[in-house]
Every structure is written in C-alpha cells, then in structure tokens.
Amino acid sequence: MSQDSFARRMQDLLTPADVEVGGDRPWDPVVHEDAFYRRVLAGGSLALGESYMDGWWDCPRLDEFFHRILRARLDERVRSPGWLFAALRARLVNAQAPSRAHVVGERHYDLGNELYRAMLDARMIYSCGYWEGAASLDEAQEAKVELVCRKLGLKPGLKVLDIGCGWGGTARLAAERHGVEVLGVTVSRRQVELARELCAGLPVEIRLQDYREVDGRFDRVLSLGMFEHVGVRNYRGFFKAVRRLLHEDGLFLLHTIGTERSETHGEPWTERYIFPNSMLPSARQIAAAIEGLFVLEDWHSFGADYDRTLTSWHERFEAAWDRLRDRYDERFHRMWRYYLLSCAGAFRARRIQLWQLVLSPRGVPGGYHRADATPSPPGTA
C-alpha cells in the first residue's frame, strides 16, 4: 500500500470526528513525516503518542483533537498490538504486586518536585479539583479537599489515614482546619521529603509505605487519586486492607478516575510513558470489590471538572517551561504536553470520569446525608 493510500485511510477515519489533516482549524493536525500514517494505523494509540514525541506531527489544540476523536470513538476502530500484549500480560502477571508498588513512585512522582511545584496549585494537590464556585486552580483544589473533609465529617480528635498522600496538601489542610491527626503514606521518596517539610509542626506523619503494610485503626480513611495504581487483581485486597484499618463506625472516601468499560490493563502509551502499571477501574469492578465489605453511602461524579484541572496544569507547565528546560529535554516537553492535553480531551469527551465514593463498614445509622457536604466558599474553614 502506498503512502497516499495510508494517508487517505487515515483521513477517512478522521472525517466522522470533523478532523482534517492539514486543515486550518486549531484541532486539525499537521503531519511532518509521510511515514506517520502507516506508523499510526499499524501501531494505534501507542504509535500516535510516540510519533508526537518524535515530532512527526503537531496540533495547536491537542485537547480538542482528542475530544473530537474520542467523542467519535475512533479509538475503537484502531487497536494496536499493544492492547493485545497488555491484555495477555494482565492475565499472567500481577503488575501491581507489593514487589512492584514503588515503580510508579520512582518513574512518575519522583520526576522532580520542581516540576510539580510549577504545575500544581499552592498546596500541590495532584488530583481533580472541584470547580463549583471556584475561579482559580488554588480555589478548586481547596474546595475539593474541603468537600472531602465535609463528606467524612472530620472533627478534632479523629485519627485519619491518607492512602497516596502525595505532597501532604490534603493532610495539612485537614490537620490545620479540622483538628485531626493524619498518617499519610506514599510510594514516592521525593513526595515524602517535601510532604514532611510542608507538614512540619502539625499532627501529621508521612511515611514511605505501601498501603498493604499499614497497621493500626483509624476513624476515617481517604484516598485521592491513588486507586488508579492498584490494579484489578488487587481491588478486593485494597478494600479488605481499608476495612481492616477502619473502625466499625468509620467512613472511607475513595476519589478515583473511572472508565465506562471493565478492562484488565491500562492504555498502552500512558502505561509506558506516564503511569507504569496503571489502569482505570469501572463501576462494575468497584462494586464487585466492595461487596460484603462496605455499605455504599454515596457516589458522586464530577469528571467534567478534570478537564478544567488538566488544562490549568498544562497552562502552568508551559508558563514554567523556560525554567524547567535545563532539567528536561524537548522530548519530555512534548510527552508531558501530550499527557496533559490528551487526558483533558478524554474527560471533555466524557470517555473517562471522576468519582468520589463514601463507604461505611456497616451503614451509617439513620442514613448518610449528602446535604452535610454542601460546599462552602473557598477560603473559609
């Protein structure tokens, strides 16, 4: 098949999404290498991302490009060999076993605190913000953490476990404003170093520790943006661990990205370059994993807010690139841009979601009331 034939086939695929190669709209891609078409048609999403990193094509609005192709479900028409390999690997290997728990910390979260300081809000919260009533990234992240604190009914004297505590922003706010004692665990050494510094003087302990290694009992448990690293083989074990750690009258809040279909592995490009051994859970997988362990008190979906969060991170990353370029090369620059904007497009297309679940071991007497979680204006206690 000639290069022209591959190009025509590519355009035929893109037409239902109202995308034109070489078009004049911001979401139309510009191709620099003729071999691009054959490479992507043969290699699917992995080849699309790698060819962008290699500079084979560009697009002024990557987020809108992905919004359109994912909304049109073009990804379902081009499946790369990587998907088959990932599915087979998932059947044979527990990629998120305890012996591999620190891989994502080393390869993603340990990339450099300077990068994340530049990209994230002042509290360095690396999960979806809550934008209702918020005018900035700082306000959206503060509103999200306060929403979590209200859903959990935090009050002075409670003992809280934060699984996947990041740089300690949630633990710090909870301790400062709600008078709780917090243990935060993460698999990233760089996060531990900075979180301990940022939480100094507060009743907050930060450990380099996998969730399966935690002992003790807690009044409340929360996990914001960590469940995506657990893996389907370990979902049941994760919830068993939380149940073991939680008092009978306690509450657990899970904040996670979710997907519309049950898969056993992650998206190939994202797994290789951004989040190794990651995958998104489905509602069905979560429901099966909590059966007999927890009462589902509340399920809150606000995935559209992640689009705005990711575009805010991208704007801050690009604004800081001149001072980051000495530490990271141009290939990393393109990779990170592709990561942030492709994810923004996926949330905009509503192909992936953001969920907050509130779970209790035996059911809240009289029922759990969402009215108690009504947001207050950002900046208030």
Nearest-CA neighbor of 39 among 56, 17, 27? 56
CA–chain centroid gap for 3, Å, is 37
- Provide CB contacts within 8 A for 365, sequence distance 6+: none
As a whole number of angstroms, the distance between CA 173 and CA 180 comes to 10
CB 58 within 8 A of CB 67: no
* The three-state (H, E, C) secondary structure of 366-380, written as one string: CCCCHHHHCCCCCCC
Strand order through the sheet with 246-259: 204-208, 181-186, 159-163, 218-224, 246-259, 352-360, 295-301
SS3 label, residue 104? helix
Answer positive or negative: Cα dihedral of 284, 86, 46, 337: positive
Asked whether 204 and 172 are in contact (CB, 8 A), the reply is yes
Annotation says 199 is catalytic: no
Give the up-direction half-sphere exposure of residue 5: CA atoms within 13 A in the CB hemisphere: 2
Q: List strand residue ranges (DSSP E) for the chain, in order.
A: 30-31, 57-58, 159-163, 181-186, 204-208, 218-224, 246-259, 295-301, 352-360
Residue with tokens 């509602």: 283
Catalytic site positions: 343
